[in-house]
Structures are given as structure tokens and as C-alpha cells.
């Protein structure tokens, strides 16, 4: 008799949303002839409680993304105290007057988008004697309602960041909603290469596999891990 086909049992408690996303990352990386280990999964935990986050930490997830400094301050210190190797990424817009709080709590900032914020972050890093990597957010679709520096302002902002000697991780973008993301990811990858940067923070729950195939170093995944908001 032929051997029975092997089917993944999605009722198996060992198969979790996290393990599914990790498998999808690995498959996308294989297609792109990349190593899955070269892609950092940032679990977007904005609006989620500590009780909702704790199971992912228990399953081994270590990088988490938050949109707001104040919200993160309310729930993360206790979680980090319990699991000190957790790394926190700020993926939302940052006000300059919150720069010091952000540098104190976060391990990476994905939303540097203007010279005034660069100055505030440099001042905060000097005061706290702490250097954390920065992604420059690019308004890749040139959308008026979105944050990010314009394509024309990008060279100048990168030059200022390099002059300040702050650690530049790469570029970040959020493509326009409801359209194919691949051309925007490809454009961000080209901009990064043109400016000698390797980090690419791009791709969310609905398009992270495409982002990985186009070079993403960090993918920001929320609903595929936590469910719809």
C-alpha cells in the first residue's frame, strides 16, 4: 500500500501563528536564494496587551514593534525585565519631544524622517550615552497623508545622518494601500543600494513574502501573528 500523504495538522498546538509565519519567511527566502536567518521578524504588538504578547515571547519571538512611545512605556518594561533579550523596535511616527524617551526604551527606530528629529535623536543618544540603529522612513508612494521623507529630500537627510555619526540601519517604507507593493519595494531597494545601505524595513502581513524576495532585512508583521485588530 502506498504511504499516506503527510498533512500538517493545524490543530496541533505546536503549529502556532508564529511558526506559520516563520515557515512562510523561510519559504520566501529559499525562493530568493537567501537565508531565512538574514530576515528579522518584527512582531507588531501595537494595541496588544502584555498578556497577548507573552505567549509569543514564550515561543521564542524576540523582536517586537510598537507605534507609540507612551503605549510601549506602559507595558514593555515588565516584559523586558522578565525576558531581557527582547528587542523593541519603534515603527510609528516619532515626535521630537519624545526622542529621549524613545532612545531610552527602544533598541531600533524605523521612522527617522526629518532633520529636526535627527537633531533630537542625536542629542538624546549623547545624553543617554546610547547608540541605537535608525532606519530612514521614505514616503515611497509620495502620499500626502503619510509620514516619511520625500524622495527628493532623502539624499540630504542621509548626508546629515552620516555627518552626525548616528548608526544608520537602512531605509523603511509603507507602500500605498490597495496596490501591488512590489514596485515600491524594488524602488526602496534601489534607493538603499544607491546610497550604500543594506537594511530594508519593508513588508507587512499581506506582502512580507514579496518584500523578502526583493531584499527585506526586517519585516513588520502584526495581524498574521495576533489576528485582525
Domain boundaries, the chain: 17-226
Q: What are φ and ψ of residue 212, in 5° steps?
A: -65, -40
Bridge partners (DSSP) listed for residue 44: 65
pLDDT tens, position by position, 130-183:
999 999 999 999 998 889 999 999 999 999 999 998 999 999 999 999 999 999
- The closest of 91, 36, 32 to 63, measured between CA atoms, is 91
Domain range 17-226, its CATH number among 3.40.50.261, 3.20.20.10, 3.40.50.10490, 3.30.565.10? 3.20.20.10
Q: How far is CA 123 from CA 89, 105, 111, 153, 167, in A?
A: 19, 15, 17, 22, 14
Whether 78 has a pLDDT exceeding 90, the answer reads: yes
CA distance 172 to 185: 9
Whether 1 has a pLDDT exceeding 60, the answer reads: no
Q: Provide CB contacts within 8 A for 178, sequence distance 6+.
A: none
pLDDT tens, position by position, 187-210:
999 999 999 999 999 999 999 999
Q: Which three cell numbers stand for residue 223?
A: 495581524
Q: How many CB atoms lie within 10 A of CB 67?
A: 17
Q: Mean pLDDT for the chain?
A: 94
pTM: 0.92
Q: What is the pLDDT of residue 4?
A: 40
DSSP letter (8 states) at residue 162: H
Helix orientation angle between 50-58 and 69-82, rounded to the nearest 10 degrees: 40
CA torsion 44→49→51→52, rounded to 10°? Answer: -40
Q: What is the pLDDT of residue 229?
A: 66
Q: What is the pLDDT of residue 3?
A: 42
Q: Which three cell numbers stand for residue 46?
A: 501595537
Amino acid at each position: 500500500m502506498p504511504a499516506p500523504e503527510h498533512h500538517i495538522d493545524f490543530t496541533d498546538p505546536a503549529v502556532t501563528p508564529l511558526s506559520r509565519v516563520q515557515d512562510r519567511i523561510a519559504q520566501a527566502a529559499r525562493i530568493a536564494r537567501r537565508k531565512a536567518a538574514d530576515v528579522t521578524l518584527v512582531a507588531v504588538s501595537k494595541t496588544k496587551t502584555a498578556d497577548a504578547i507573552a505567549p509569543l515571547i514564550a515561543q521564542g519571538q524576540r523582536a517586537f514593534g510598537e507605534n507609540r512611545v507612551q503605549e510601549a512605556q506602559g507595558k514593555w518594561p515588565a516584559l523586558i525585565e522578565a525576558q531581557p533579550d527582547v528587542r523593541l523596535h519603534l515603527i510609528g511616527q516619532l515626535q521630537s519631544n519624545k526622542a529621549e524617551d524613545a532612545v531610552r526604551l527602544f533598541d531600533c527606530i524605523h521612522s527617522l524622517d526629518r532633520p529636526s528629529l535627527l537633531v533630537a535623536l542625536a542629542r538624546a543618544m549623547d545624553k543617554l550615552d546610547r547608540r541605537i540603529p535608525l532606519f530612514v522612513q521614505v514616503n515611497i508612494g509620495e502620499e500626502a497623508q503619510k509620514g516619511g521623507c520625500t524622495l527628493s529630500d532623502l539624499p540630504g537627510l542621509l548626508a546629515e545622518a552620516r555627518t552626525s555619526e548616528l548608526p544608520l540601519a537602512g531605509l523603511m517604507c509603507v507602500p500605498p494601500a490597495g496596490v501591488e507593493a512590489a514596485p515600491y519595494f524594488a524602488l526602496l531597494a534601489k534607493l538603499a543600494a544607491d546610497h550604500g545601505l543594506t537594511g530594508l524595513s519593508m513588508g507587512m502581513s499581506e506582502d512580507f513574502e514579496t518584500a523578502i524576495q526583493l531584499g527585506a532585512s526586517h519585516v513588520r508583521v502584526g495581524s498574521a501573528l495576533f489576528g485582525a485588530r
